[in-house]
Structure 1
Amino acid sequence: MQPEPSIIDAVVNADALHPNWKREDHILARLAKNAAEHPNQIAMRERDRGIWQEYSWTDYLNAVLEFAAGLEARGVQPGDVVLVIGDNRPNLYFGMLGAACLRAIPSPAYPDAPTEEVAAQMAREDIRFAIAEDQEQVDKLLEVREGYPSLELIIYDDPRGLAGSEPEGVTGFNTIRAEGAERLFAEPGLADDLLARPSVHDVAVLMHSSGTTGAPKGIPLKHGHVLSGVRNAAAAGYFHEGEVHMAYLPIAWVGDFIFSIGAAMELRFTVNIPEAQETAMHDLREIAPTLYFASPRAWSAMLTRVQVGIAETTGIKRRLYEYFMPKAMAAERAKLDGKPGRGGLNRWLGEILIYGPLRDQLGLGRVKRAYTAGEAIGEDVFLWFRALGLNLRQFYGQTENCALAVAQKPEDISLTTVGRPFPGVEMKIDEHGEILLKGDNIFDGYFQNEKATAETLVDGWLMTGDAGQIEPDGQLVVLGRVSEVIEKADGTRFIPTYIENRLKFSPYIKDAAVVGKGRDMLIAIVCVDFQAVGQWAQEHGVAYTSYAELSQQPRIYDLIEAQIAEVNAHLPHGLSVARFVNLHKEFDPDDGEVTRTRKLKRNVIDDRYGPIIEALNAGQDQIDFKAQIVYENGQTGSLDRALRLADVKEAA
């Protein structure tokens, strides 16, 4: 029997699109190779109830194959999309690769996604099977199933609250594994067959866009895309073989799949999973990774934690810190300006007394490759970690290019650039100023969305949607989203994200939304950083009992005004922020104000805070705002808030 013409066409088209790919070169093949050549080497560790549980490459492969065999027995077929929801757990990683063995498609979701978001994802992708971390996620899926009867099977990892009392259509991960193990024993050739099924052209994972302007788009990444991206990065020295990595980022974020699965398989990483998100920073000290990625927000939070600790200590520790850190910061600032930084005895003593102990305390003592991406990082944060002895570097990527496209080299020290393209990646700027990329790490199109695909992939180039420019030395500067280029009433063009990122350089500003389309001036809605501002208030005798009360204190307004004025001093003419409000709450993904990756949903901000925006533009100094409240049960209410509205006196 001959294959259907459509299948033959698909294979031919895939080969033509990526002629350098070899069919048998896929992620499962890398796993099998690692298990064959390094059977007893530790591939993954998980802290469970304080004890580190270890999995060798043999254990890893057996878990994947057993789960795949059991999953197939339950009806999963090639092309089926399998939902995966929960925090980082070995069984969730095993489950994703088990599905890939069957040429099914794992589709991760953020663990804090509300029921309606999960239901929408399942309906868009016709999902019949789901893998969930624990009872909380199972309860969410059972609620989804009430309005989505197509969900046939829910597989849970953590048995607490579920084992022995499973609702219909719910079963344990270990039960599926046991069924698979029986099949593998009864069918001697099944293991080899499962490993032979996947192809480099199969979808390894279905990621999703952030959905800032509408429903998230599905982004299928094939085995070849992932491995190409990892190999490009390794060729640039971005990854090394045998890295020690901590998997703490959401499994629904592309970076986690690339680091914790793609690079781990290709380069035999040891992947370490913390006990819980709440213990991640504590567990980081025990893990002591060699590779560490964090967002600018996370680096900033780590620095704030250190500063709070130093402020609360006394004696010799504080005096040593206050002596050595400014000197190291000054040396790094000199390097940033192209001048030689000073080392010598001060640096040597500082390494022994402050820098080394601090790195060890943070869990960064063995880190050789430290990275940040996602948005611009504040100068003080960037320089502080470099002063501490980390060669912190920025990179640029998107889900559509496996998050691996451009990065700074070790010798590149710059706040304004994100580096040069990796080997295997082509980059150019088109006539509209948009960044275009090409390479085997670039995806082949959106999931069941030909219109969006045609708009994003043009003549083999990925239209990133980001505005940028290339410096004379070949480094890329990312200016912001092309779609966000807007004009003030006087015709002055600007990108809000550019200004917002610089406002967030301040340790006291967690989020900001800059508004000014068609207006005479720019205004900012500011969400203060509760920890940093709370520490400042404590040190300066400002009393408060809640976030809302703290945000409205007159001295806090003075503090934030000074931060905005500092940013204004470095902005182009006509782009100063003239007025602002400290919001009574943080922007919240559960309220639909930001995505799960903390990107602003501007239409929601404009609509929800419209009265505040109008009052700021009208010159009012206060507004009684009816704030919307969303309770845990999904019901909504409102609460009246009196918010101060303030000028930035130094604004031009």
Structure 2
Amino acid sequence: MNYDHWGRFLAQKVNEHTGLDILKWKNEKKHTWEALSWPDFYDKVNKTALALLDLGVKSGDNVAIWAENMPQWLVADMAVFSIRAVTVPLYANSPEVQAEYILHETESRIVFVGENEQYTKINAIREKLPSLKQVIVFAEPESPEEPDMSFETFVSAGSFANKAEELEKRRRDASMEDLATIIYTSGTTGVPKGVMLTHANFAETLRTHEILLDMNPGDTSIAFLPMSHIFERGWIYMCLNRGMTIYFNHDPREIQTTLAEVRPTFMCTVPRFWEKVYGAVNENINNGPAIKKKIFNWALKVGDSYYMNHKRVKKEPGVMLKLQHAVANAIVYSKVKKKAGLENAKFFPCAGAAIAPEVATFFHRMGIHLMIGYGLSETTATVTVNRYYDFNLASIGKAMPDLEVKVGENNEIMVKGKTVMKGYYKKPIETAEVFDGEWFKTGDAGYFGEDGNLVMTERIKELYKTATGKYVAPNYIEAKLAMDKYIEQIAVFGDRKKYIIALIAPSVQAIKEYAQKMNIAYDNLEELLSHSGIISFFEDRLQKIQREFARFEQIKKFKLLPYPFTVETGELTSTLKLRRKIIFEKYKELIEGMYVD
């Protein structure tokens, strides 16, 4: 298939999928899912494109979208592409200071915002943005500033018939080398950098992902991760290409409800989602009758033989194993999947951070295929992925077709191919630093296993070297410990120190339930977390979890925090990665106190 500039390619997709719904979203007032057909979607895209032309948007201009996942997000995105302009996505929860930096650097004249939260923030910083001329609100704005307006008013303000010819000309003149989007990186170290991706980058991504089979018209996918992230956005473009229906999950906290209602065939996920499900299922089994636990463990052993030892390596299961699997599916797998809304799943892409092999294996044993991969904004998402067969759940898979991957100095993973970014926006020095000729340096370390799969070990810049000279990967430790039901977030420190310490934000609901079970009285959360019984409880859990760690990797001291790390306080990036420097500075006294004998 020949993939084109999305400004033109969308029309081809409309012709292919005319009778299908492209989008669905929840009407919270009616408690129903509403749908938008392909022709109606294309009509909205065209009206939005004409309205943008009427505002004087030129080819190459930057247009920002600052919103939650919602249908208008995708309409605006495709409208911007249609006039050869550039989409600048911002995370819905982006702090004002970060949004100001991005909007100022990109000189965005027009900003689409989602709801009142983003509208309030843009109003607070607009005086600092001399380029900003128009704010358009996807929802009806409360007390709108002049000349701000709602999205519906914007696209219906006039017919813009005089702009139709210009729109068609923009589409005809569109080039695959047109800049499509500027996606700002999380900025865990230093200021955010704008990754420049072209339509050629996206076209190559669609082509290489043809290896993903069984994605068909009529299939469904929930847009759970932020559309401002390359993982979800690239996946949505693939869904559009395949004629699938996209359900927009507006609030990430409502994903369990959405799963139960939609029961999708696909959904982009991150390890934290599966860690929570894993913890909840195991907690339920461990707290149940002994016979229930015995049956569950038997079913997992059957699944291990059926899926991991046979299906994974294209080996046909024997008659007895097939019979055992049918029984296990009837009494265990099907019930777990149905309760979680996963019974229709074909496969679930999973990336964004390391996932413990035991977690991934747990779900594979029940026939829930996590397609674990690795990628970056700079590589238009996927670099490597575990395929349908011969996968290794302790790895991040094999390289995408026609994409070259190698391990360079300091075991750094390096990538070369047509999905690699054009560079960082207005940052030639930073761009030069991450390229070695045509090779992009990811900043991640890893190695190739004997089976040809790539194994990622750590972020090079986040390695700690203890006072004893041992290297520690904090991400690895955090990922393992975060699997625990009682740990919501954890930040590990220990660079140039004699041992490792941690700040832990507990799962408040879980720890309150434990306190009730143990008859621990308290007046507030701070008092509860300082109770000797709770401290001892966490000491015991950490000791058990860390048995597989080397001694120098084990956490020797920790503090329980009554408040989680958040994006708003600057402790997390918009993609929920830890900003270690900011966390360290905020809790410096607490951290240093754990090193006082």
State the TM-score, normalizing by the size of structure 1: 0.83
Aligned counterparts of 1:557 and 1:237: Cα–Cα separation in 2: 49
Determine the structure 2 residue equivalent to 1:257.
Answer: 233
Which one-letter code corresponds to 2:11 in the other structure?
A: A
Determine the structure 2 residue equivalent to 1:65.
Answer: 46
The partner residue of 2:13 within 34, 38, 54 is 34
**Equivalent residues in 2 for 1:335-374, closer than 5 Å:** 343-374=321-352
The partner residue of 1:528 within 495, 502, 506 is 506
Aligned counterparts of 2:294 and 2:333: Cα–Cα separation in 1: 12
The answer to whether 1:401 aligns with 2:379 is: yes
User: Conserved in 2, the CA contact under 8 Å of 1:102 and 1:197?
Assistant: no
* 1:581–1:437 CA distance, 2 compared to 1 (3 A): same
Using the TM superposition, name which of 411-420 and 49-58 deviates more.
411-420
Aligned counterparts of 1:137 and 1:271: Cα–Cα separation in 2: 24
Which one-letter code corresponds to 1:469 in the other structure?
A: Y
Aligned counterparts of 2:487 and 2:456: Cα–Cα separation in 1: 22
User: Conserved in 1, the CA contact under 8 Å of 2:503 and 2:559?
Assistant: yes
Determine the structure 2 residue equivalent to 1:53.
Answer: 34
User: Conserved in 1, the CA contact under 8 Å of 2:279 and 2:483?
Assistant: no
User: Conserved in 2, the CA contact under 8 Å of 1:469 and 1:476?
Assistant: yes
Instruction: Specify the SS of the correspondent of 2:261.
Output: helix
The partner residue of 1:329 within 285, 295, 300 is 300
Aligned counterparts of 2:517 and 2:293: Cα–Cα separation in 1: 17
CA RMSD across the alignment: 2.8
How far did 1:290 drift? 1.2
* 1:412–1:507 CA distance, 2 compared to 1 (3 A): farther
* 1:386–1:532 CA distance, 2 compared to 1 (3 A): farther
Aligned counterparts of 2:203 and 2:485: Cα–Cα separation in 1: 37
User: Conserved in 1, the CA contact under 8 Å of 2:285 and 2:293?
Assistant: no
Q: Which runs of 5+ in 1 are unaligned?
A: 1-20, 620-652
How far did 1:398 drift? 0.9
Instruction: Specify the SS of the correspondent of 1:201.
Output: coil
Which one-letter code corresponds to 1:38 in the other structure?
A: H
Determine the structure 1 residue equivalent to 2:99.
Answer: 118
Aligned counterparts of 1:34 and 1:463: Cα–Cα separation in 2: 35
The answer to whether 1:91 aligns with 2:72 is: yes
Instruction: Specify the SS of the correspondent of 2:409.
Output: coil
Instruction: Specify the SS of the correspondent of 2:59.
Output: coil
**Equivalent residues in 2 for 1:302-313, closer than 5 Å:** 302-306=277-281
State the TM-score, normalizing by the size of structure 2: 0.91
Aligned counterparts of 2:372 and 2:87: Cα–Cα separation in 1: 29
Aligned counterparts of 2:572 and 2:164: Cα–Cα separation in 1: 51
Aligned counterparts of 1:501 and 1:479: Cα–Cα separation in 2: 12
Aligned counterparts of 1:333 and 1:83: Cα–Cα separation in 2: 47
Q: Aligned residue pairs: how many?
A: 588
The answer to whether 1:168 aligns with 2:146 is: yes
Q: Deviations over 1:501-531 (max 9, x none)?
A: 2222323222222222222222222222224
The answer to whether 1:291 aligns with 2:266 is: yes
Which one-letter code corresponds to 2:368 in the other structure?
A: L
* 1:403–1:288 CA distance, 2 compared to 1 (3 A): same
Identity score, percent: 26
Determine the structure 2 residue equivalent to 1:146.
Answer: 127
Aligned counterparts of 1:339 and 1:25: Cα–Cα separation in 2: 40
Determine the structure 1 residue equivalent to 2:202.
Answer: 226
Aligned counterparts of 2:195 and 2:275: Cα–Cα separation in 1: 30
User: Conserved in 1, the CA contact under 8 Å of 2:180 and 2:197?
Assistant: yes
Which one-letter code corresponds to 1:39 in the other structure?
A: T
How far did 1:339 drift? 9.2
How far did 1:263 drift? 0.9
Q: Which runs of 5+ in 2 are unaligned?
A: 312-316
Higher relative contact order (CA 8 A, sep 6+): 2
User: Conserved in 2, the CA contact under 8 Å of 1:83 and 1:109?
Assistant: yes
Using the TM superposition, name which of 434-443 and 235-244 deviates more.
235-244
Using the TM superposition, name which of 129-138 and 580-589 deviates more.
580-589
Using the TM superposition, name which of 494-503 and 406-415 deviates more.
406-415
Q: Deviations over 1:283-314 (max 9, x none)?
A: 222322111221111122334455677789x8
Which one-letter code corresponds to 2:220 in the other structure?
A: V
Which one-letter code corresponds to 2:81 in the other structure?
A: A
Aligned counterparts of 2:459 and 2:485: Cα–Cα separation in 1: 24
User: Conserved in 2, the CA contact under 8 Å of 1:25 and 1:200?
Assistant: yes
The answer to whether 1:102 aligns with 2:80 is: no
Instruction: Specify the SS of the correspondent of 1:376.
Output: coil
User: Conserved in 2, the CA contact under 8 Å of 1:281 and 1:362?
Assistant: yes
Aligned counterparts of 2:131 and 2:139: Cα–Cα separation in 1: 24
Aligned counterparts of 1:452 and 1:578: Cα–Cα separation in 2: 38
User: Conserved in 2, the CA contact under 8 Å of 1:78 and 1:103?
Assistant: yes
Determine the structure 2 residue equivalent to 1:649.
Answer: none
Which one-letter code corresponds to 1:388 in the other structure?
A: M
Determine the structure 2 residue equivalent to 1:637.
Answer: none
Instruction: Specify the SS of the correspondent of 1:228.
Output: helix
How far did 1:472 drift? 0.8
Aligned counterparts of 1:136 and 1:574: Cα–Cα separation in 2: 45
Which one-letter code corresponds to 1:519 in the other structure?
A: K
* 1:478–1:336 CA distance, 2 compared to 1 (3 A): farther
How far did 1:432 drift? 1.7
Determine the structure 2 residue equivalent to 1:432.
Answer: 410
The partner residue of 1:137 within 101, 118, 128 is 118
The answer to whether 1:388 aligns with 2:366 is: yes
Aligned counterparts of 1:498 and 1:305: Cα–Cα separation in 2: 21
Instruction: Specify the SS of the correspondent of 1:432.
Output: helix
